[in-house]
């Protein structure tokens, strides 16, 4: 193919890691190789309108379609009809659906419009949260959509493995291209405290997937064991009010700060001695890459997506999901052994610099689109 590949992205999940993935790709990929267009929603994250304006200034065509996160047959049918009309009105080489809702609607619409290769990126399979009754339904829907999927593009090796082993995709249908970041210069003394109080923090959307209540409970356990620790929780979401009440009930007023939405977490990461994340499931979280690139040891849950990045005992400590006691013990160990924490922080930086660079991701993705477009 002598001209650039024309890729249409469809996403309802315009926040968190999926948004960052799209912004990185649209901003960073060479227009000589790939031309992007987007169908997106604004219901979940109205601030995405700023990105829409930026995309349009770059010459990227954007359509706003009202997609809803929850299953809503009437609204889903309206959105599907609108997406099909867009597909039939333009000529694209690849249709790329992102996350559960955008991925499902994109695959159904592309199948109806026919003729274009269909790529799907889960950015974390929702059915991996086995604690919710909807898990089986989500898994069934993923299996039902498999015949509509030409290629599954995973953001981590473990996500690719799950697609093959649990959803029965053929290995030839699945490609893993890991998320990447722009790696900063090597950090200096990353584990040296920057203030009188020692600080631990987490960055996450305050949603059930991230299970932030476990982090709050771990903070309370650490506060009981030793004074002088300070904790920060960066992020917003539907669980914030409940978490604030939990924090007050556990005696963390003035000890745990709710920082709200943080567009750039790096200034916070530089202040923290240990970075914590308590997710129930993941695709491959950017914030862990940012923390490791800042030279911070990581305490995280042992789940797919995180296991791809954090090497237990070398770049951080992995604990069972939902186990606040294990999380508190791991943080305490790193606070007590600064040499170990510094060693893990340095190893984490080197791992991200070697394996999770944005330029590497963009190059591999352009190669992937060209290969798919050639059929």
pLDDT reported for residue 47 = 85
* Tens digits of residue pLDDT in 118-131: 999 999 999 998 88
Residue 299 confidence class, pLDDT cut points 50, 70, 90? very high
pLDDT reported for residue 66 = 93
Residue 114 confidence class, pLDDT cut points 50, 70, 90? confident
pLDDT reported for residue 123 = 97
pLDDT at 190 over 90: no
Residue 70 confidence class, pLDDT cut points 50, 70, 90? confident
pLDDT reported for residue 244 = 98
* Tens digits of residue pLDDT in 44-60: 888 899 999 999 999 99
| Contact by Cβ (8 Å): 330, 322 | no
CA distance 297 to 331: 9
Q: Where are the beta strands (DSSP E) in the chain?
A: 5-11, 34-40, 61-64, 94-98, 118-121, 151-154, 174-176, 198-203, 229-234, 256-260, 274-277, 298-301, 316-319
* Tens digits of residue pLDDT in 335-353: 999 999 999 999 999 999 9
| Contact by Cβ (8 Å): 9, 38 | yes
CATH class of residue range 5-180+357-373 = alpha beta
pLDDT reported for residue 206 = 96
Q: Measured on CA atoms in the order 165, 167, 172, 173, is the torsion positive or negative?
A: negative
pLDDT at 293 over 80: yes
Residue 192 confidence class, pLDDT cut points 50, 70, 90? low
* Tens digits of residue pLDDT in 244-262: 999 999 999 999 999 999 8
CA distance 274 to 269: 9
| Contact by Cβ (8 Å): 192, 222 | no
- Two domains, one topology: 5-180+357-373 and 198-355: yes
pLDDT reported for residue 101 = 94
Average pLDDT over residues 12-25: 94
Residue 221 confidence class, pLDDT cut points 50, 70, 90? very high
| Contact by Cβ (8 Å): 86, 63 | yes
CA distance 224 to 184: 36
Mean per-residue pLDDT of the chain: 93
CA distance 314 to 316: 6
Phi, psi of 187 (to 5 degrees): -70, 155
Q: What is the CATH code of the structural domain delimited by 198-355?
A: 3.40.50.2000
pLDDT at 161 over 80: yes
pLDDT reported for residue 197 = 59
Average pLDDT over residues 327-341: 97
CA distance 232 to 134: 31
- Kindly report the length of the chain: 375
pLDDT at 24 over 70: yes
> Which H or E run includes 333?
helix 324-336
CA distance 145 to 131: 23
pLDDT reported for residue 227 = 86
| Contact by Cβ (8 Å): 170, 146 | no
Average pLDDT over residues 322-337: 97
| Contact by Cβ (8 Å): 299, 275 | yes
Q: Which residues pair with 129 in a beta bridge?
A: none
Domain residue limits, the chain:
5-180+357-373, 198-355
Residue 43 confidence class, pLDDT cut points 50, 70, 90? confident
Rg (C-alpha) for the chain, rounded Å, is 21
Residue 1 confidence class, pLDDT cut points 50, 70, 90? low
pLDDT reported for residue 189 = 56
Strands 256-260 vs 229-234: parallel, antiparallel or unpaired: parallel
pLDDT at 196 over 60: no
CA distance 324 to 252: 15
* Tens digits of residue pLDDT in 169-188: 999 999 999 999 999 887 65
Distance of CA 140 to the CA centre of its chain: 23
pLDDT reported for residue 375 = 80
Residues of the chain with pLDDT > 70, as a percent, come to 97
pLDDT at 366 over 60: yes
């Amino acid at each position: 193919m002598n001209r650039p590949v024309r890729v249409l992205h469809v996403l309802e999940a315009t926040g968190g890691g999926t948004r960052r993935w799209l912004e990185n790709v649209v901003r960073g990929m060479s227009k000589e190789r790939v031309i992007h267009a987007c169908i997106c929603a604004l219901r979940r994250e109205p601030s995405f309108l700023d990105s829409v304006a930026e995309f349009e200034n770059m010459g990227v065509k954007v359509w706003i379609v009202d997609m809803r996160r929850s299953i809503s047959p009437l609204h889903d049918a309206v959105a599907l009809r609108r997406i099909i009309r867009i597909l039939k009105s333009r000529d694209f080489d690849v249709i790329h659906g992102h996350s559960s809702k955008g991925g499902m609607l994109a695959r159904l619409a592309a199948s109806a419009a026919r003729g274009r290769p269909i790529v799907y990126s889960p950015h974390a399979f929702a059915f991996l949260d086995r604690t919710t009754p909807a898990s089986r339904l989500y898994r069934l829907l993923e299996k039902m959509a498999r015949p509509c999927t030409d290629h599954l593009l995973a953001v981590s090796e473990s996500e690719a493995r799950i697609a093959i082993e649990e959803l029965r995709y053929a290995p030839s249908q699945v490609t893993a291209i890991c998320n990447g970041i722009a790696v900063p210069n090597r950090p200096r003394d990353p584990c040296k405290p920057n203030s009188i109080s020692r600080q631990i923090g987490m960055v996450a959307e305050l949603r059930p997937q991230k299970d932030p209540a476990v982090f709050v409970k771990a903070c309370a356990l650490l506060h009981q064991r030793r004074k002088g620790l300070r904790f920060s929780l960066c992020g917003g979401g539907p669980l914030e009010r409940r978490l604030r009440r939990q924090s007050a009930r556990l005696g963390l007023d003035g000890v745990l700060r709710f920082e709200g939405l943080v567009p750039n977490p790096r200034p916070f990461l530089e202040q923290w001695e240990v970075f914590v994340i308590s997710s129930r499931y993941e695709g491959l979280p950017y914030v862990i890459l940012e923390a490791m690139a800042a030279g911070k040891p990581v305490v995280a849950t042992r789940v797919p997506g995180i296991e791809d990045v954090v090497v237990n005992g070398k770049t951080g400590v992995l604990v069972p999901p939902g186990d606040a006691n294990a999380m508190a013990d791991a943080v305490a160990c790193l606070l007590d052994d600064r040499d170990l924490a510094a060693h893990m922080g340095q190893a984490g930086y080197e791992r991200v610099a070697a394996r999770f660079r944005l330029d590497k991701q963009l190059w591999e993705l352009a190669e992937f689109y060209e290969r798919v477009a050639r059929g």
